[in-house]
Amino acid sequence: MNDYNEISRCNRCGFCQSVCPTYLATRDETQVARGRIFLTRMLLEGRYDFTKDEDVLEKVNDCLLCQACVVNCPATVRTDDIMLAARRDFMEARGLSLFQKLVYRGVLSHRERLDRTSFLMRLYEKSGARNILYGKTLRRALDRLVYFDSFLPSGLNKPARTRLNEKMPAVNQPKMKVVYFLGCASNVFTSETVWSAVAFLNKLDVEVLIPKVSCCGEPHHTGGDEGEARRLAKKNVPLIFGVEADFIVTDCSTCASALRHYDKILGDCAEAAIAKPKLSKVIDLATLVTEHLKPSSIDLKPLDIKTVTYHDPCHGIRGLGVKAAPREILKSIPGLELKEMEGADSCCGGAGSYCFTHPTMSGLISTGKVNNIAATKAEAVVTSCPACSLQLGAGLRRAGLDTQVAHPVALLAKSAGLKV
């Protein structure tokens, strides 16, 4: 339950209008942090009811949780936490939504089922079924399907895990030992990034452990399904915090931010006692490379692209405070120019599965982002989050642009001559 006094610290100054992605896309007060806070206050004042008022839940779910308002709020009102608490209250009063049951608890909670969805997606693409979608008559009728289809990259690889052993071989006298947290989306959608990253770490004499983890729990957590998030977190703790390692690293900013804040999800339990002292060891891949490894010893060669732009994932820039590291990596690649886009740190509208639950709003936000990317004329947009990668890729494909999407460390590995 939200704290009334905390919520009403918002005195509606309106500064969130200048950064809230859903407001900037619509210029509509029903789509801004100030409005969402006001509604949550009205819930606590009893004007609305958690058990009945679906329209209020909709508004609460419209928030991307991108935290842009939080860092721009003169009173630092934590809209993200307030929305999470409201979602929990709605969940408790109304139960899970069908989407949450099917996708979060049904698939993301089970590692093997997630791998199977990868198979189905590849089958869909390779069988030619996707081409039917693009037939002229069907296209209009199936607009929504075409939207969803745009998220599926062509030439989707097998899940990353199928090519990785739990412990990667071939590191003699390792200089460092890391636990690599393989997140759901990285595993299924950006396996090349994972392979590149692991190969690159091995090349720098880093021993990489890849335990069979479950979903980090963030999708469940953001949907208000606190119990399931805690169950998953408890399963993961011994696997990642219970082993001796210098760092717990991941290529996904969302997983990294979730793990870094596991104490919030875990509450008081035995697992929390194991995790808490090691939370500061959770690190994103780019920061691990720039701050703790010395990649300067590696011979880097120019890539086939000359210009890139960087998109800051919300969980990277605001969740973890990562800004310089990925940019440093890009600047270290010879012959590569980093062209900053306007609004690099504003949410792309992907926001985990928001792009699937809120196609219209997400599409609007995506269009703005894609325009900013296109304005830089960069050949690739680089980001440190598989969900952002999916969203950016989908938006670019819908706009008919062939801009590549890549992870900074994947580009670095390529520049180091590693092939995956």
Q: Establish if 87 lies at the interface with other proteins (CB under 8 A).
A: no
Q: How far is CA 358 from the centre of its chain?
A: 16
Among 3, 28, 143, 291, binds other proteins (CB under 8 A): 28
CA distance 215 to 233: 8
Q: Work out the burial of residue 31: count CB atoms within 10 Å of its CB; fewer than 13 is exposed, 13-18 middle, 19 or more buried.
A: buried
- Our CB check for other proteins shows the closer of 59 and 311 to be 59
The helix, strand and coil proportions of the chain, stated in percent and rounded to the nearest 5, come to 55, 5, 35
Among 18, 51, 162, 165, binds other proteins (CB under 8 A): 18
Q: How is residue 116 written in tokens? A: 């199977």
The CA distances from residue 23 to 74, 162, 274, in Å, are 18, 42, 41
- Our CB check for other proteins shows the closer of 87 and 220 to be 87
Residues numbered 33 to 62 that lie near other proteins (CB under 8 A) are: 35, 38-39, 42, 45, 55-56, 59
Q: Using DSSP bridges, classify how beta strands 337-338 and 307-311 pair: parallel, antiparallel or unpaired.
A: parallel
Q: How many residues bind other proteins (CB under 8 A)?
A: 29
**Rounded to the nearest whole angstrom, what is the least distance from the CB of residue 369 to other proteins in the complex?**
17
- Our CB check for other proteins shows the closer of 74 and 169 to be 74
Q: Establish if 15 lies at the interface with other proteins (CB under 8 A).
A: yes
- Our CB check for other proteins shows the closer of 75 and 401 to be 75
Among 3, 51, 52, 76, binds other proteins (CB under 8 A): 76
**Rounded to the nearest whole angstrom, what is the least distance from the CB of residue 290 to other proteins in the complex?**
22
CA distance 258 to 277: 16
Span near other proteins by CB under 8 A; candidates 75-83, 160-168, 207-215, 229-237: 75-83
**Rounded to the nearest whole angstrom, what is the least distance from the CB of residue 375 to other proteins in the complex?**
13
**Does residue 208 sit in helix, strand or coil?**
strand
- Our CB check for other proteins shows the closer of 12 and 126 to be 12
Among 1, 30, 101, 123, binds other proteins (CB under 8 A): 30
CA distance 312 to 95: 34
Q: How far is CA 413 from the centre of its chain?
A: 21
- Our CB check for other proteins shows the closer of 24 and 194 to be 24
Q: Establish if 8 lies at the interface with other proteins (CB under 8 A).
A: yes
Cβ proximity of 109 and 184 under 8 Å: no
Work out the angle at residue 271's Cα, subtended by the Cα atoms of residues 270 and 272, and round it to the nearest 5 degrees. Answer: 90
Q: Which residue has the tokens 């950016």?
A: 392
Q: Establish if 175 lies at the interface with other proteins (CB under 8 A).
A: no
Q: Establish if 334 lies at the interface with other proteins (CB under 8 A).
A: no
Q: Which residues bind other proteins (CB under 8 A)?
A: 5, 8-15, 17-18, 27-30, 35, 38-39, 42, 45, 55-56, 59, 72-77
